[in-house]
Amino acid sequence: MTLMRKCVPVVIGSLAAAACAGDGGKGTSPPPPPPSGIVLVDSLPIPQFYGIHDQFVRDGLAFLCAWNTGVLIYDVGNGLKGGSPAHPMLVGSVVDSGGEAHNAWWFHNPATSENRYLFVGQEGPGAIGASSSGDIHVMDVSDLTNPQEVAHFHMAGAGTHNFWMDEAHQVLYAAYYNGGVVAIDVSGTLSGDISSRMLDTVSFGAGNTYTWGVQLYSGSVYAIDMVSGLWHLNSSLGTLGSSGGGNNEAARFSSDLWVANGYAYTGTWDHFQRTGLAGSLLKIWRLNASGAPVAEDSILVSGVGAVSDVEVSADGKLLMFSTESGPNSGFWFYSLADPAHPTLLDKYLISSGVHTATFATIGGRLYAFGAENPNGAALIILDVTGLDQ
């Protein structure tokens, strides 16, 4: 059962903790608000073609998935072009053969010590909950200033969404909406059509499968499905099998996930309210001894259409999610001092909404990168080091 917090901190923002603690505390002055731990570092305009959808940041390079503009590679601290989070410098760009660049993963292959391939997800047209389209495109980024598409993966009747890479074993896990979850062997040299490299696939039943995202955690793959909720999948070098969870969120459609600290954090997608409930949830799941998710808590965010992306910082201390379509759209940051019950630290609202957000540590500081929706599409870069205590 999902437990709803009685104290709804998100509505009142930074003062939430104080307000909750001070319920009924007449006659005492509320403590002053804490100094904001969020600093806007840069807002990088992106061509509105349609704009920026997602970003992957690694080794001081930001791979911006800018839809029909393709993938833009920026130096945000790598040193290649002298860029920094405050002054991103364009290194190169590439337009995937289908356009609609949605997400990316820069593959660091420990077997070959190469960082040669960038996997780009194309999100084609789809009817949410029923159909989808779009391939995985493989870019050779050996020359970051001149990336080239060298391979692609196509799955008939379905389109790809978010990825996770088991780099140690060279297996790419991809959510495939109505196609469920797909595992692909990405070892060695990739060229041409790599559809035959599919190792396994799993779905959650007809009319019950529309998988948003996947993550590998402690040897298991976790999949969040918009229709059927959070699943725990056994995984062994690309072989997939359902192990636990699933069919555990019927009131709302689910969105993104992140797994850390023995807990899973998932969002809900309420652009169409499944049962008429307003607002969106950040749900917290405890992973039991077998790794299966058990609902632990939830946070209701009013005034939004979706919790559109979820991530936990590498040190496990800071939870971030993005929201869009409503007056409370933007970045939300929570302390994971108690990972079962996150507490609001701060938020950074952007009226046009933030579609995706990701953390990156650069030069010893923690940054949040976010994709601001059009009109006004931009890469938003926040220094949130102050929150990560």
Partner 1 sequence: MTRRGAGLLALVLGAAGGADAQRPTVQWGAQAVPTLTETNIVPGDRSLGEARVLLPVAMLHAAAFGGRLRLVATVDFEKYTITHGELAPGNWGESFADRRHPHTLVHELMLVGGGPHVFVAAGKGFVPFGTDDPMSRPAVLFPVNHHLSQILERAVALAGVRVRWATLEGAVFNGDEPLSPGSWPAWDRFGDSWAVRLTLNPMPGLEAQASYAWVHSPENRPGAGPDDRKASISTRWARGRWYGEVEWARTSTADGFFVFPSMLAEGAVTLSRHRPYLRLERSDRPEEERVFASRFRTRRPLFENSILGITRWTVLTAGDALDLHRGPVRYAPFVEGAWIGIARVGGGVFDPTTFYGREHGASITVGIRLAIGMTMHRMGRYDMTPAEGSTPMHMPMDHGERSE
Residues engaged in binding partner 1 (CB under 8 A): 47-51, 53, 67-68, 100, 102, 123-133, 207, 226, 253, 271-276, 303-305, 325-327, 355, 373-375
Nearer to partner 1, 120 or 240 (CB): 120
Which class for 100: exposed (0-12), middle (13-18), buried (19 or more C-beta within 10 A)?
Answer: buried
User: Which residue number, 51 or 77, has a Cβ lying nearer to partner 1?
Assistant: 51
Minimum CB–partner distance for residue 152 and partner 1 (Å): 17
Q: How far apart are the C-alpha atoms of 108 and 112, rounded to whole Å?
A: 9
Of the pair 15, 95, the CB lying nearest partner 1 is at 95
Q: What angle (nearest 5°) sits at the alpha carbon of residue 207, between those of residues 203 and 212?
A: 55
d(C-alpha 300, C-alpha 267), whole Å? 10
How far apart, in whole angstroms, are the C-alpha atoms of residue 230 and residue 253?
A: 11
Q: How near is the Cβ of 346 to partner 1 at its closest, in Å?
A: 22
Residue number with CB closer to partner 1 (52 or 73)? 52
Give min distance, CB of 133 to partner 1, in A: 6
Distance in Å, CB of 350 to partner 1, minimum:
14
CB 360 within 8 A of CB 369: yes
Give how far Cα 212 sits from Cα of 79, 131, 140, 142, Å: 34, 13, 26, 30
How are strands ordered across the β-sheet holding 71-75? 54-58, 61-65, 71-75, 89-94
Nearer to partner 1, 33 or 327 (CB): 327
Calculate the CA dihedral of residues 278, 283, 251, 256 and round it to 10 degrees.
90
Residue placing its CB nearer to partner 1 in the complex, 235 or 266: 266
Q: Which residues pair with 201 in a beta bridge?
A: 182
Max CA separation in the chain (angstroms): 72
**With 0-12 CB in 10 A as exposed, 13-18 as middle and 19+ as buried, what is 161?**
buried
- The distance of closest approach from Cβ of residue 329 to partner 1 in the complex, given in angstroms and rounded to an integer, is 9
Calpha distance 377→382 (Å, rounded): 16
Q: How far is Cα 184 from Cα 194, in angstroms, rounded to an integer?
A: 9
**In this complex, which beta carbon is closest to partner 1, that of residue 180 or of residue 305?**
305
Q: Which is nearer to partner 1, 147 or 326 (CB)?
A: 326
Least separation in angstroms between CB 278 and partner 1: 10
Strand partners, 121: 103, 136
At its nearest, how many Å lie between partner 1 and the CB of residue 217? 27
CA distance 222 to 231: 6
Least distance (Å) between residue 211 CB and partner 1: 14
